Structure 1
Amino acid sequence: MRISSSQYFNMNVASMSDQQSTLASMYQQISSGKRILTASDDPLGAAQAVQLTMRSGALTQYSSNQTTALSSLQQEDSTLGDVSNVLQSIQSKLVQAGDGSLTDADRISVANAIQGYRDQLFGLANTTDSGGNYIFSGLKGGTQPFSDDPSGVGTTYSGDLGQRTVQISEGRSIAVGDTGVSIFGSVSPTESDPVSSAASNKGTGTISAVSVSDASDPKNASTYTIQFAMDATTGTMGYTVAAQPADASLPTTPTAYTGKTDITLGGQKVTIDGTPSDGDSFTVQPAASGNNDIFATLDNLVNALKQPTGSPAAQATLTNALTTAGTKIGNTFNNVLSAQTVVGGREQEVQSAQTAMQTSQTQTASDIANLTSLDLVSAISSYELTQNSLQAAQMAFSQIQKMSLFDYLSS
């Protein structure tokens, strides 16, 4: 087989062009430190690199979400801590208010202190985050959750009942906020049932806080009304107890009242003391179904403390108000502590997710590097070898070009 001079030249030029192209590609790889610059360098490796890069991007976003979630939870945790501190201060003032040696002026001073704590609590309930969003307004972050009720007692909640969540990992979202109602207007069903006396009471009867003997008794979920009435025939004071829903175990006829008396209400009891008047009544209501607005409780407490106690009936009214407020404030305090515990658990979960995410990010980055990074020592050696081969080919080709009859005759 004969090869013409033009074929020979073309073959050598093409070979040297391929080597130059290879050198250029190798130089780019060495300069960038990457083994795969285009999909044609390694189609399978390039596809795997794309998948790993997408995963790395998702992990980066999850990491950012975790940071945001943890920041929100830490702010809520701190705020709830401040709320519990304020409630503890209010409880201390409540104990002080029960001191029988206080004058009306002293109680007004206590009322003003509690009013100050109430205002501080109101400010905490309307706390905003760094972005100006209210942390206790549910999904309506731009709406102030609490405003004072026009009646002067309690507040109006303008947020919603939605709970903000953030996705912290694939398939896992976590709540990063709680509604104002769940913090400042709710209590656990297992908390003490609050007692209250009717505003129209005229006697000196007082009711104690609820004492629970059997927390599992379903009758505890009933609302009980203790009604006092004078028997017109005998002239003796008696009381009846009604329940809603009805409690068949209750007496159907009035029970004579002769003084301090324990009254059993399902799996709990209260003690009535003093001298109730005809028509006076007291109520025991399940904790979770009553008015649990802590601001209304404090407003009523402040108003009660500002009333003169110049008569035994007025003193009894104050005692009953303090008992009611003490139970409701205690229930709210326990509710805040429970919420803080839940928030702390969420913080721990996010922190655990961060640790796991850092491991995943490190592994993914390592996988991408192993797949795309270049072994510089091997690459430089190959580059120099290819370069030497090209130079040798060029020198040989230049020498072969001189091996013609004309060159031989001219020499």
Structure 2
Amino acid sequence: MRISSSQYFTMNVETMNNQQASLANMYAQISSGKALQTAADNPLGAAQAVALTSQAANLAQYSTNQSSALTSLQQEDSTLSSVTNVMQSIQSLVVNAGNGTLNDTDRSALATQLQGYRSTLMTLANTTDANGNYIFAGFQGGSKPFSDNASGVGATYDGGPGQRQVQISDTRTINVADPGSAIFQSVSSNESSPVSSGSAANTGSGTIGPVSVSDSSDPANSLIYTITFGTTTTGTPPASVSSYSITSTDPSTTPPTVTAPTTPTPYTAGSNITVGSQTVAISGTPASGDKFSVSPANTGSTSDTDIFTTLDSLVNALKQPADSASAQATLQNALTTAGSKISNTYNNVLTTQTAVGGREQEVTATQTAMQTTSTQTANNLSDLVSVNLPSAISQYEMTQNSLQAAQQAFAQIQKMSLFNYLSS
């Protein structure tokens, strides 16, 4: 096979051009530090690099979301801690208010103190974050969640019903703020006690105590029981004695279903009265027509579980003169009712705070796991696109030497001719 001079020259020039292109590419890699200049350098590696870059961007955004979520949860946790401190102070005040040695002036002073605690709770319920958003406003972070009712009793919730959420990973979205209605106007279903109360219209000296529950799973405990006092004739010779009858109301039906009164039972002060799987004792001397009730912690009415309504009612009760046996009984009944409701709200706040703490731990654990993933992704991407400088420089020098040798050899061969041999 004959190779013409033209073919030979063309082949050598093409080889040297290829080597020069290779040197240019190596130089670009060394100067930029990137092994992949174009997708043509490594099509599979380029595709993998795009995927890893996208993954790294997602991980960076999740990291930002996690930090934001943790900040929000920590602020809610801190605020709820302040709420529990105030609630503990309120509970101590209620116990103190039951001291029989206090006079009307003392109780009025306690009422003023209680109003201060209420104002503090209202401020905490309307806490804002660093961006000015209300943390207990649900979806409506820009709206003030709580405001006092025009009637002067209780508060209105103007926030949203839902929980704000943040996505902290591909598969996990976490709640970062609880609506205030679930904290200050609701109670925990598992950590709440039934509420006993006496009618404000009672004229006797009867007082009702807290409720004891023997079987919390009894469906009958979800009914509202009304204990009505009257008189009945019993014994020989016949005599009129104080007695009571019980009616129950099912608040879950529309309209509520009310049972007929039970047969009157003679009343013995301090004896337990059974309603469902619950017992309650009434002491003192109730008058005919006086009424007492035992209700589940949550009857479906916001006013029953609104801590602001409870505190306003208690402030009003403490300001009333206790100048008769009936007035003293009314005050004691108000303290018993408020004590149960305040305790239920306190337990609800603790339950919420526990849930918030659990979410904080979950975010922290996700951060730790994702930091490991982010580091691995960055390493994989670096291994794929970053150039190995020692190896690249060595390869560059070898290629450069090869090119120089080829150029020198080609220059020498160019000088060779048949005439040179003939003349010699």
In 1, the alpha carbon distance for the partners of 2:87 and 2:390 equals: 69
- State the partner residue of 1:203: 204
Show CA shifts across 1:53-109 (max 9, x none).
111111111111111111111111111111000000111111111111111111111
Q: For the residues of structure 2 that align with 1:87 and 1:367, how far apart are their CA atoms?
A: 53
The answer for the alignment partner of 1:98 in structure 2 is 98
Per the alignment, in what secondary structure is the counterpart of residue 236 of structure 1?
strand
1:272 aligns with 2:282: yes
Q: CA-to-partner distance for each residue in 1:377-396, whole Å, 9 max, x for gaps? A: 22111111110111112222
RMSD: 2.2
The answer to whether structure 1 residue 222 and structure 2 residue 223 are counterparts is yes
Q: Deviations over 1:284-304 (max 9, x none)?
A: 110122510000000001111
1:356 pairs, out of 365, 369, 375, with 369
**Deviations, residues 304-324 of structure 1 (Å, cap 9, x unaligned):** 101111111111111000000
* 2:390 paired residue among 377, 400, 407: 377
Residue aligning to 1:321 = 334
Q: Does the Cα contact within 8 Å between 2:56 and 2:378 map onto a contact in 1?
A: yes
CA-CA distance at 1:195 after TM superposition: 1.4
SS at match of 1:166: strand
- Give ranges in structure 1 of 5+ residues lacking alignment: none
Paired with 1:3 and 1:67, the residues of 2 have a C-alpha distance of: 72
**Percent of residue pairs identical:** 61
1:258: Cα distance to partner? 4.3
Contact 2:188 2:351 in 1 (8 A): no
1:309 aligns with 2:310: no
Quick check: 2:114–2:315 contact (8 Å CA) kept in 1? Answer: yes
Q: Deviations over 1:247-300 (max 9, x none)?
A: 99x983211224333211111111111111221101111012251000000000
After superposing the two structures, state which structure 1 stretch, 77-86 or 251-260, moved more.
251-260
Greater mean deviation of Cα atoms: 261-270 or 383-392: 261-270
SS at match of 1:272: strand
Q: Which residue of 2 aligns with 1:80?
A: 80
Q: Could you tell me which residue of structure 1 aligns to residue 244 of structure 2?
A: 239
Residue 146 of structure 1: aligned partner: 146
Partner of 2:40 in structure 1?
Answer: 40
- Offset of residue 165 of structure 1: 1.3
Q: Which residue of 1 aligns with 2:313?
A: 300
Task: Describe the SS at the equivalent of 1:328.
Answer: helix
Q: Which moved more, 1:183-192 or 1:231-240?
A: 231-240
Shift of 1:371: 1.8
TM superposition score normalised by structure 2: 0.92
Q: Is the 8 A contact 1:73 1:177 kept in 2?
A: yes
Cα deviation, residue 407, structure 1: 8.1
What does residue range 113-262 of structure 1 map to in structure 2 within 5 Å? Answer: 113-190=113-190, 191-231=192-232, 235-245=240-250, 252-262=262-272
1:228 touches 1:240 (CA, 8 Å); kept in 2?
yes
2:399 aligned with 1:386: yes
What's the CA shift for 1:162? 1.0
Aligned-residue offset at 1:154? 0.4
Q: Deviations over 1:353-398 (max 9, x none)?
A: 1111011111111211222222222211111111011111222222
Q: Verify the 8 A CA contact 2:232 2:264 in the aligned structure 1.
A: no
Aligned residue pairs total 410
8 A Cα contact 1:189 1:286, kept in partner? no
Paired with 1:386 and 1:103, the residues of 2 have a C-alpha distance of 103
Partner of 2:254: none
Amino acid at match of 1:362: T
Does the 8 Å CA contact 1:185/1:293 hold for their aligned counterparts? yes
1:395 aligns to what SS in structure 2?
Answer: helix
In 1, Cα distance between equivalents of 2:33 and 2:152: 72
Aligned twin of 2:107: 107
Q: Is the 8 A contact 2:194 2:211 kept in 1?
A: yes
Aligned counterparts of 2:330 and 2:59: Cα–Cα separation in 1: 62
CA contact (8 A) 1:219 1:247 kept: no
Distance 2:422 2:143 in 1: 102
Task: Please say if residues 114 and 311 of structure 2, whose CA atoms lie closer than 8 Å, have aligned partners that are also in contact.
Answer: yes
Aligned letter for 1:192?
A: S
- The aligned counterpart of 1:29 is 29
Classify the secondary structure of the residue corresponding to 1:400: helix
- Give, as a single letter, the amino acid of the residue that structure 1 aligns with 2:210: A
Q: Secondary structure at the match of 2:168?
A: strand
Match of 2:416 among 378, 403, 406: 403
Gap regions ≥5 residues in structure 2: 251-256
Comparing 52-61 with 234-243, greater Cα deviation is found at 234-243
User: Alpha-carbon deviations, 1:299-353, whole Å to 9, x = none?
Assistant: 0011110111111111111100000010000000011111111111111111111
Question: Hey, what's the Cα distance between the residues in 2 that align with 1:46 and 1:410?
Answer: 59
Q: Could you tell me how far apart the structure 1 residues matched to 2:419 and 2:63 are? A: 76
Residue identity opposite 1:220 in structure 2: N
